């Protein structure tokens, strides 16, 4: 009987399609109802009250659809069953995200009771990913039931939906092998062990949850969640088993030394402080229990209004691990000044870059031009312009890596040279150099803010670009829970470098046009204030655009998908913990 019910469930779309060609809807409903009642009758003795509570919602919904189809004798009513099933699954999965543990973690622990607690955030994010799939699948299925043909509904629900599920399952499996590289006796373990070899004993491992942190292998904890306000930072950390500082501390019973914990606090505090600081002392320091490998803990750091102290607390769900207060030398007011430079990424815009620099000349601000693997003619033009203007410096990248990669190179270079902010604009002349001063004025008024250009388009702007921007705007509003970002794609911006570079160190970003919206969303998530400044944007009939309609839209869509998973994963890190730092 279980096999028959499984066949009916999995093959429901094909059975409905074939049945409606032969029988009246009432007859088809009767057959499905008999199968379901027989299944319930064969197993009801083994059910408990909790089982009944779990299945009540989907059973009532499916029963209502079957009864409705029988009453009106309309086969189209039967087409809503897959959408209702996806809705019930969405409710079930989403409830576990709120109450915990997540649905997938619950099932994973049934198979692997020894699963470490550090896997919880990953399994929670995976549960969120399936919630997103259920939303999409439910929407498509409902729309096809309402407006599509029976054939289209059958092909999607009976074939394409299962193909998408298979792709998600296979993709997650590959990603899991790549990220954790933990091999047991699985059927595919020998294959992936060759593709993704495990770290050598005592060798480096990722200390962040992103590949971009390989340079800091095993030097610090893995950051599972990160949220930030103006003077407050909270992180969820997992202690790697191969953490460097564990070596030599209590062999056979490794613990994290207190000095390492203070180092993590300093790292977080310096991202909140406005400039270089010197540690003066530590007060009220308490280490209340041991911190061991694989532990998952919360770190909260709060900086005083005068930026001379940072209180911290490190805890997990059981108790406080450590707490205290760091004292810093009082900084000078000069730390609050905006020390900006200009940043222009360029790829084969030899015709327009000269005009852009001419427009910037009255400002006499240092200008960093990142040559992203341009051709010989453009490189020669840049060399002449750098020789002409003493305030222009050109950084050459050997190959074209993309807009995002060029901007990241520029941010890091400017930060190393002591600049506090960069104003970035495009090399194609779409942005008016005369409006750089408007963005800098906003940055002077709010040095800690991200200043975004709010574009004002004229009649030359393509309609497709405007529609795409509006869609991105609504997605970013949903992800940030705010209407603060007016345009996440405009390349005319002013970045505060300290928080921007700190964010680049924690996450991997796209190399091309997908970089622009992601950096805005992630900075907004850290609590950085957003300021919008109206700017003019011009499109030229013969202008050269490096935006590739298919490639870049796919990359941007994939980035929004990754951000959705990150957003769902952040909910674990934002749960309230013990009282804040004293």
CATH topology of domain 211-332: Thiol Ester Dehydrase; Chain A (3.10.129)
Cα 120 to its chain centre, rounded Å, is: 17
312: helix, strand or coil: strand
Q: How far apart are CA 493 and CA 207, in angstroms?
A: 31
Q: How far apart are CA 414 and CA 423, in angstroms?
A: 11
Q: How far apart are CA 423 and CA 367, in angstroms?
A: 9
Q: How far apart are CA 358 and CA 340, in angstroms?
A: 18
pLDDT for residue 579: 38
pLDDT for residue 105: 82
Of 158, 151, 114, 125, residue with least CA distance to 563: 125
Residue identified by tokens 């599920």 is 165
Residue identified by tokens 């033009």 is 381
Name the phi and psi angles at 533, rounded to 5: -125, 125
153: helix, strand or coil: helix
Per domain, the residue ranges of the chain are: 2-180, 211-332, 337-569
Name the token pair of 12: 């429901």
Taking CB atoms within 8 Å and a gap of at least 24, the contacts of 162-165 are 162/10, 164/133, 164/137, 165/133
pLDDT for residue 93: 87
The ranges of the chain with pLDDT < 70 are 1-10, 33, 35-62, 65, 69, 99-100, 112-118, 183-186, 198-219, 244-253, 274-277, 330-337, 459-468, 540-553, 570-582
Q: How far apart are CA 33 and CA 66, in angstroms?
A: 8
Q: How far apart are CA 313 and CA 287, in angstroms?
A: 10
Q: Which CATH architecture has domain 337-569?
A: Alpha-Beta Complex (3.90)
Q: 494: burial class by Cβ within 10 Å (0-12, 13-18, 19+)?
A: buried
pLDDT in tens, 564-580: 888 877 654 444 333 33
Helices (H), 342-435: 353-360, 376-388, 403-416
Q: How far apart are CA 354 and CA 433, in angstroms?
A: 12
DSSP-assigned states of every residue in 439-491 = HHHHHHH-TTSEEEEEEEE-TTS-HHHHHHHHHHHHHHHHHHTSS--S-SS-S
201: helix, strand or coil: coil
What sign does the dihedral 234-235-239-245 (CA atoms) show? negative
pLDDT for residue 575: 42
pLDDT in tens, 551-568: 666 788 888 888 888 887
Q: How far apart are CA 270 and CA 468, in angstroms?
A: 38
The answer to whether 315 and 269 are in contact (CB under 8 A) is no
Q: 374: burial class by Cβ within 10 Å (0-12, 13-18, 19+)?
A: buried
Q: How far apart are CA 354 and CA 201, in angstroms?
A: 54
């Amino acid at each position: 009987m279980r096999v028959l019910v499984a066949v009916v469930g999995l093959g429901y779309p094909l059975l409905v399609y074939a049945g409606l060609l032969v029988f009246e809807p009432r007859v088809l409903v009767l057959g499905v109802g008999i199968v379901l009642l027989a299944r319930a009758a064969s197993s009801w003795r083994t059910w408990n009250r909790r089982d009944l509570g779990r299945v009540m919602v989907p059973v009532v919904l499916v029963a209502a659809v079957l009864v409705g189809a029988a009453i009106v004798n309309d086969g189209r009513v039967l087409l809503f069953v897959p959408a209702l099933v996806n809705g019930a699954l969405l409710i079930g999965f989403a409830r576990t995200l709120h109450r915990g543990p997540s649905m997938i973690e619950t099932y994973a622990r049934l198979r692997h009771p020894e699963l470490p607690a550090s896997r919880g955030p990953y399994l929670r994010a995976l549960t969120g990913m399936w919630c997103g799939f259920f939303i999409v699948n439910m929407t498509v299925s409902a729309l096809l039931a309402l407006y599509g043909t029976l054939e289209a509904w059958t092909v999607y629900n009976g074939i394409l939906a299962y193909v998408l599920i298979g792709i998600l399952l296979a993709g997650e499996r590959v990603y899991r092998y790549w990220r954790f590289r933990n091999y047991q006796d699985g059927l595919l373990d020998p294959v992936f062990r060759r593709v993704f070899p495990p770290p050598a004993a005592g060798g480096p491992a990722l200390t962040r949850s992103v590949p971009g942190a390989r340079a800091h292998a095993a030097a610090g904890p893995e950051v599972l969640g990160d949220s930030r306000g103006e003077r407050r930072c909270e992180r969820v950390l997992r202690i790697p088993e191969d953490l460097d500082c564990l070596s030599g501390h209590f062999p056979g019973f490794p613990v994290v030394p207190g000095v390492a914990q203070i180092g993590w606090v300093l790292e977080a505090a310096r991202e909140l402080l406005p400039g270089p600081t010197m540690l003066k002392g530590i007060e009220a320091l308490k280490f209340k229990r041991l911190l061991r490998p694989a532990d998952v803990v919360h770190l909260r750091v709060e900086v005083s209004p005068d930026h001379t102290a940072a209180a911290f607390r490190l805890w997990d769900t059981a108790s406080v691990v450590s707490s205290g207060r760091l004292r810093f030398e009082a900084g000078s007011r000069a730390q609050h000044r905006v020390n900006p430079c200009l940043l222009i990424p360029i790829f084969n815009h030899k015709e327009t870059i000269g005009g852009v620099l001419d427009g910037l000349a009255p400002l006499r601000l240092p200008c960093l031009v990142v040559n992203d693997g341009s051709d010989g003619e453009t490189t020669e033009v840049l060399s002449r312009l750098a020789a002409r203007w003493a305030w222009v410096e050109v950084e050459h990248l050997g190959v074209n890596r993309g807009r995002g990669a060029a901007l990241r190179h520029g941010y890091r270079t400017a930060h190393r040279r002591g600049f506090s902010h960069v104003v970035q604009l495009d090399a194609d002349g779409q942005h008016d150099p005369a409006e750089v001063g408007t963005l800098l004025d906003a940055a002077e008024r709010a040095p800690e803010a991200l200043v975004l250009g709010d574009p004002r388009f004229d009649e030359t702007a393509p309609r497709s670009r405007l529609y795409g921007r509006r869609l991105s705007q609504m997605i970013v509003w949903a992800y940030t829970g705010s209407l603060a970002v007016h345009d996440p794609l405009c390349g005319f911006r002013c970045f505060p470098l300290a928080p921007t570079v700190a964010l680049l160190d924690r996450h991997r970003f796209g190399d091309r046009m997908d970089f622009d919206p992601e950096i805005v969303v992630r900075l907004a998530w850290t609590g950085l204030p957003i300021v919008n400044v109206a700017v003019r944007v011009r499109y030229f009939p013969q202008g050269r655009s490096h935006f590739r309609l298919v490639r870049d839209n796919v990359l941007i869509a994939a980035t929004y998908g990754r951000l959705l998973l990150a957003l769902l994963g952040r909910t674990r890190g934002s749960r309230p913990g013990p009282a804040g730092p004293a």
